[in-house]
Amino acid sequence: MRPPGRPALALPLPLLLLPLLPAPRPAARFHPTWESLDARPLPAWFDQAKVGIFVHWGVFSVPSFGSEWFWWYWQQEKIPKFVDFMKNNYPPDFKYGDFGPLFTAKFFNASQWADIFQASGAKYVVLTSKHHEGFTLWGSEYSWNWNAVDEGPKRDIVKELELAVRNRTNLRFGLYYSLFEWFHPLFLKDKFSSFHKRQFPVSKTLPELYELVNEYRPEVVWSDGDGGAPDAYWNSTGFLAWLYNESPVRDTVVTNDRWGAGTICKHGGYYTCSDRYNPGHLLPHKWENCMTIDKFSWGYRRDAGISDYFTIEELVKQLVETVSCGGNLLMNIGPTRDGTISAVFEERLRQMGTWLKVNGEAIYETHTWRSQNDTITPDVWYTSKPKENLVYAMFLKWPTSRQLFLGQPKATLGATEVKLLGHGEPLNWIPCKQNGMMVELPRLTFSQMPCKWGWTLALTNVT
Ligand SMILES: *[C@@H]1O[C@H](CO)[C@@H](O)[C@H](O)[C@H]1NC(C)=O
Ligand SMILES: *[C@@H]1O[C@H](CO)[C@@H](O)[C@H](O)[C@H]1NC(C)=O
Ligand SMILES: *[C@@H]1O[C@H](CO)[C@@H](O)[C@H](O)[C@H]1NC(C)=O
Ligand SMILES: *[C@@H]1O[C@H](CO)[C@@H](O)[C@H](O)[C@H]1NC(C)=O
């Protein structure tokens, strides 16, 4: 039935246009099961990015001694080195909480950090919004007096870094978040009940995770620290279904695999498998090598010597191995309690940036090749860009003979072209008797070298 006197076909214009409006988003594409969540395609930006920076910062940066696990080693494991450090340097009744006010972040300038991150060539950054100590770097509603707005810096560190990274750089902004807290009374109570009680995740972890995502829109949610509890205790699948279906970052967010005991290397987004994971072979699932420039600690250590830090040659090696095998490299730095990035970390990051300026073509947005490393010459690692018919051979030792033997590429006379990135001139090469090719590297003086810690040959038309 329609009102009388109105012609049937003359619909008002807005109604005719309705079908052209975007359809409402289908609700609940993902269900709170691993089967459904694991099937979500990883947003493409992550695999293209290849390089990220990890930042471990918190109250542990105040003692800045030994490890970011300071509190645990001192009071739980009572490791003599840590117990003695406290005995020798602090009054007898000094508690870990007393470090809170000393976390001043006096010189913290998020814009400066952002500029260093940009110069490093990294494409994303992941900040510890809360480590196992429980101190939140934002003014969490659920972390009374143990957060950076009420205590220590009296600033919203997460917001400042988020704005600086988003305003000044083209890096994606990500957040690390520890599910459990070593000494939180509710967590300990739940643990005592063998995780049948769920007071801690319901009143602390989950509200904080929702708050973090809604407030800071991280595009990486880097979960850690299951505390031995299963994912059902954390309600990880419930949170992830919300993250993927409804959250403000549902289309671009990536997550890792640390969502409860037994999920690592098995469920979630990309795999991290273990700290410093670098398998040396291709994996069928996207993965990330999270490692730290200080070989022994993620948090800043005043007791670190220069040999405790990876050299730029070692970092470049990590990067090319990782990317050739399908991984991303997440390189960690530990800022000081003052909020400065120590000169050694800054130098490594800037060095990586200068290396990537020349060789980034062989890293960003590349694919793995049929072979990850060479069969004749050690320390040669391959990536590829199939659409452009390019294979990249990254090599870490410049042969004294200037002859680089590559066992894997099948080259064709008249079709194959070889160039050194940052040099540009086509290089001479000849096919080898058995298989592969020998490339004659250019005669370059030290100052003519396009870079000094590893080089890349771009091979066009090889199979
Ligand atoms: C923070 O760093 C930026 C970039 O180096 C600089 O322009 C700005 O003046 C600094 N702000 C303060 C308060 O020092
Ligand atoms: C970043 O940009 C926003 C929006 O333009 C502005 O309000 C804010 O002050 C900027 N923050 C920084 C740290 O540059
Ligand atoms: C888990 O999270 C989902 C999504 O927020 C929620 O609907 C569900 O009630 C939660 N389950 C438990 C057991 O907490
Ligand atoms: C590289 O290639 C060689 C020869 O094919 C192989 O034996 C080796 O395991 C590979 N991986 C690494 C990490 O060198």
Residue 6 lies in a domain: no
Cβ of 28 closer than 6 Å to ligand 3, yes or no, is: no
Report which protein residue has its CA nearest ligand 4's atom 3: 375
* Residue range 91-105: mean pLDDT, rounded: 98
> Quick one: pLDDT at residue 13?
45
pLDDT (0 to 100) of residue 190: 98
**pLDDT at residue number 17:** 47
pLDDT in tens, 322-356: 999 999 999 999 999 999 999 999 999 999 999 99
> 205-218, pLDDT tens digit by residue?
999 999 999 999 99
CA of 163 to the centre of ligand 2 (A): 6
Q: Name the residue of 33, 235, 237, 246 to mutate for ligand 3: max ligand atoms within 8 A of Cβ.
A: 235
**Do 219 and 114 belong together in one domain?**
yes
**Which ligand has its closest atom nearest to the C-alpha of 111?**
1
Per cent of the chain over pLDDT 70 is 94
Q: Evaluate: CB of 205 within 6 angstroms of ligand 3.
A: no
Question: Cα–Cα distances in Å, from 146 out to 153, 180, 374?
Answer: 11, 15, 52
- Give the Å distance between the CA of 335 and the centre of ligand 1: 17
Closest residue to atom 13 of ligand 2, CA basis: 164
Q: Is 235 close to ligand 3, i.e. is its CB under 6 Å away?
A: yes
Among 306, 307, 308, 302, residue whose Cα is nearest residue 335:
302
Query: Is residue 448 in contact with ligand 2, taking CB distance under 6 Å?
Result: no
Same domain, 170 and 292: yes
> Residue 342: CB within 6 Å of ligand 1?
no
Domain identity same for 54 and 151? yes
User: Please, what is the angle between helix 110-119 and helix 343-359, to 10°?
Assistant: 40
Ligand 1 center to 112 CA (angstroms)? 6
Confidence of residue 11 (pLDDT cuts 50, 70, 90): very low
- 211 and 66 both lie in a single domain: yes
Residue nearest to atom 10 of ligand 3 (CA): 238
What residue ranges in 208-307 does DSSP mark as E strands? 220-224, 254-255, 287-292
The reply to whether 11 falls in a domain is no
Instruction: Output the CA 382–ligand 4 centroid distance in Å.
Output: 12
Residues 60 and 162 in one domain: yes
Helices 157-168 and 110-119 meet at what angle, rounded to 10? 50
**Is residue 161 located within the same domain as residue 249?**
yes
At 439 the pLDDT is 98
What digits encode the pLDDT tens for the residues 124-183?
999 999 999 999 999 999 999 999 999 999 999 999 999 999 999 999 999 999 999 999
Angstrom distance (rounded) from CA 384 to CA 363: 9
Distance CA 458, CA 226 (A): 43
pLDDT (0 to 100) of residue 433: 82
Is the shortest distance between the CB of 109 and ligand 2 below 6 Å?
A: no
Check if 373 has its Cβ closer than 6 Å to any atom of ligand 4: yes
Residue 389 located in a structural domain: yes
Whether 425 and 294 map to the same domain: the answer is no
Residue where the block lists tokens 């400066």: 112
Rounded to the nearest whole angstrom, what is the distance from the C-alpha of residue 395 to the centroid of ligand 4?
14
Q: What is the 3-state secondary structure (H, E, C) of 18-41?
A: HHHCCCCCCCCCCCCCHHHHHCCC
Which residues span the domain enclosing 394?
380-460
The answer to whether residue 7 scores a pLDDT higher than 60 is no
d(C-alpha 69, C-alpha 119), whole Å: 30
Residue identifier of the C-alpha nearest atom 9 of ligand 3: 238
Q: Which of 378, 302, 287, 383 is nearest to 342 (CA)?
A: 302
With tokens 């040669």, the residue in question is 380
Dihedral over alpha carbons 304, 307, 311, 317 (to 10 degrees): -110
Share of the chain above pLDDT 90, in %: 93
Banded pLDDT at 26 (limits 50, 70, 90): low
CB 365 within 8 A of CB 48: yes
- Is residue 301, in this structure, part of any structural domain at all? yes
Residue with CA at minimum distance from ligand 2 atom 10: 163
CA of 406 to the centre of ligand 4 (A): 13
Q: Which residues have a Cβ under 8 Å from the Cβ of 362 and sit 6 or more positions away?
A: 383, 392, 394, 421, 456, 458
The finding on whether 164 has its CB within 6 A of some atom of ligand 2 is: yes
Could you say which of 301, 329, 362 is where a domain stops? Answer: 362
Q: What is the CB neighbour count within 10 angstroms for residue 32?
A: 17
Q: Is residue 253 part of a domain?
A: yes
Q: pLDDT-derived band of residue 6, with 50, 70 and 90 as boundaries?
A: very low
In a domain, 167, yes or no: yes
Ligand number, closest to the Cα atom of 206: 3
Nearest ligand by distance to the CA of 115: 1
- My answer on whether 43 and 185 are in the same domain is yes
Given pLDDT bands bounded at 50, 70 and 90, which one contains residue 28? low
Are 100 and 207 in a shared domain?
A: yes
pLDDT tops 50 at residue 1: no
* 367, part of any domain: no
Between CA 404 and CA 407 the distance in angstroms is 10
Query: pTM value?
Result: 0.93
DSSP 81-111: HHHHHHHHHS-TT--GGGGGGG---TT--HH
pLDDT bucket at 20, cuts 50 / 70 / 90: low
Statement to judge: residues 247 and 384 lie in one domain: no
Q: What is the mean pLDDT of residues 226-233?
A: 98
Measured CA distances, 416 to 44, 389, 403, 404 (Å)? 30, 10, 17, 16
Ligand 4 center–CA 4 separation, angstroms? 83
What is the CATH number for 52? Answer: 3.20.20.80
Q: How far is CA 342 from its chain centroid?
A: 20
pLDDT tens digits for 349-392? Answer: 999 999 999 999 999 999 999 999 999 999 999 999 999 999 99
- Nearest C-alpha neighbor of 36 from the set 270, 251, 244, 253: 244
CA distance 196 to 229: 10
Residue 8 lies in a domain: no
Given this model, what pLDDT does residue 10 score? Answer: 43
Per-residue CA distances from 377 to 94, 359, 393, 403, 456 (Å): 57, 20, 11, 11, 14
> 167 CA to middle of ligand 2, Å?
6
Q: 144-159: b or e for each residue (b if 16 or more CB lie within 10 Å)?
A: eebbbbebbbebbbbb
The residue whose CB lies within 8 Å of the most ligand 2 atoms, and thus the one to mutate among 163, 165, 217, is 163
Measured from the alpha carbon of residue 376, the closest ligand is 4
Instruction: List pLDDT tens digits, range 391-402.
Output: 999 999 999 999
pLDDT of 15 > 80? The answer is: no
Task: Give dist(CA 131, CA 68) in Å, integer.
Answer: 9
Protein residue whose Cα sits closest to atom 5 of ligand 4? 375
CA separation for the pair 85, 75 (Å, rounded): 12
Residue nearest to atom 4 of ligand 3 (CA): 238
The pLDDT value given to residue 435 = 85
Q: How confident is the model at residue 8 (pLDDT cuts 50, 70, 90)?
A: very low
Whether 210 and 294 share a structural domain: yes
Last residue of a domain, one of 362, 390, 409: 362
Containing H/E element for 303? Answer: none
Domain end (from 362, 397, 425)? 362
pLDDT digits (tens, 9 = 90+) for 54-63: 999 999 999 9
Number of domains in the chain: 2
Which CATH number characterizes residue 442's domain? 2.60.40.1180
Q: Which ligand has the minimum distance to the alpha carbon of residue 114?
A: 1
Atom nearest to 166 CA in ligand 2: 1
pLDDT value, residue 434: 80
Return phi, psi of residue 371, to 5°: -125, 140
In this structure, are 358 and 391 located in the same domain? no
- Contact criterion met (CB below 8 Å) for 129 and 137: yes
Q: Which residue minimizes the CA distance to atom 5 of ligand 1?
A: 112
